[in-house]
Amino acid sequence: MTPSGPLDIYEKFYEPGVPSHRQPNVAAASEALADLIVNASVSYDSSSEIVFQSVKDITNFGYKRPSALDYAIRVFAGANDLLPDTVRNHYGKGPTAGEGQLVFWQIEQSRFFQGGAGPWDVGTETAWDPDADEASNVNFQGQELREKMDMVLEKMRNFQALRREIIVHMALQGRCHSLDVARHRRHDFDGERAVHLIDLSLDSYHEPSPPWCKIDFIGNCIMLRGGAKSLLESMPSERREEKLRSWREGYTAFLRYDTEEGQKRRNKDNDFVLKAHAAMVLDNLTSGPRDETSDELFDVTKWMF
């Protein structure tokens, strides 16, 4: 197969069943991707487009093979190092163009779950309903199930895909930080945006719109596990111990059923899935902290609750 786009290259050189950190063809894939980008960069617009597609296809590859996300990140990073100044976009030339695009892609996609799955004439999504029990769900009526089951099932597939995308994008941010491929400085230190999102996900009663939801919590659990050690090391030294303590307390609260007087339960409906993800974060923070690989993050046995 002759690769026609970045996704084809990620797919062609990937060896199924081999962990991401042991993939044998990363260098060859990087060279092929760099050649594709250079050859496509005949103008500023075409250069911008192929760099953007190369970044976007990291996540398109990750949607299908989330455990292999590290492999795709490493392929892109290797290709980016090979780019000449003829490759350019809004963020700069050569490697600066690719890294800037990857950072912006993380910023753009690391967002709260917003829903938006068709078909539109079945089901009611809860993402923007302030009175809903949970803001990353979709509700169906009995008549819809009796008369439009094909559309209901299609909407479920599409809605599940949107939820999966959130998780993969959050994993991308954590792993790019820990692999030192692309780090975003929000204010004072690299990774501060990720830290802000993690902290916000721990407050299940936060005010900003859209409302807190379970899939955002799970995505941030994955992001933190993918870069816990590196995120803490990026902080000013005087903030590390306090942040580690607050994360431990925050995730512990999601395991707790009873509450102190005047407080609300963080895990609102005592959901076991949220407990499982909180426990995996706590295991990471107490035994490390450490940066978990994409193979560890998406180990299927850890997702069978």
Q: What is the pLDDT of residues 248-258, one digit of tens each?
A: 999 999 999 98
In a domain, residue 42? The reply is yes
Last residue of a domain, one of 109, 142, 176: 109
| pTM of the entire predicted model | 0.93
Looking at residue 5, what is its pLDDT? 94
State whether 297 and 174 are in the same domain: yes
* 3-class secondary-structure state, position 148: coil
Tell me which residue range forms the domain holding 36.
6-109
Report the b/e string of 222-261 with b at 16+ CB within 10 A. bbbbbbbbbbbbbbeeeeeeebbeebeebbebbeeeeeee
pLDDT confidence tier of residue 23, bands split at 50, 70 and 90: very high
Last residue of a domain, one of 109, 127, 144: 109
How does pLDDT run across 159-209, given as a tens digit for each residue?
A: 999 999 999 999 999 999 999 887 766 656 677 888 989 999 998 887 766
How far apart (Å, rounded) are the C-alpha atoms in residues 67 and 293? 8
In a domain, residue 118? The reply is no
Q: How far is CA 221 from the centre of its chain?
A: 10
User: Pick from 168, 161, 157, 159: which is nearest to 66 by CA?
Assistant: 168
The answer to whether 79 and 33 are in contact (CB under 8 A) is yes
Last residue of a domain, one of 65, 90, 109: 109
State whether 70 and 171 are in the same domain: no
Looking at residue 71, what is its pLDDT? 98
State whether 171 and 298 are in the same domain: yes
pLDDT confidence tier of residue 1, bands split at 50, 70 and 90: very low
How far apart (Å, rounded) are the C-alpha atoms in residues 59 and 57? 5
The answer to whether 106 and 171 are in contact (CB under 8 A) is no
State whether 76 and 189 are in the same domain: no
Count of C-beta atoms within a 10 Å radius of residue 174:
31
How does pLDDT run across 37-73, given as a tens digit for each residue?
A: 999 998 989 999 999 999 999 999 999 999 999 999 9
- Assigned token pair, 9: 């290259």
Give the whole-number percent of the chain exceeding pLDDT 70. 96
State whether 192 and 298 are in the same domain: yes
In a domain, residue 114? The reply is no
State whether 82 and 190 are in the same domain: no
pLDDT confidence tier of residue 263, bands split at 50, 70 and 90: confident
How does pLDDT run across 119-128, given as a tens digit for each residue?
A: 999 999 988 7
What are the φ/ψ torsions at residue 88 (nearest 5 degrees)? -150, 155
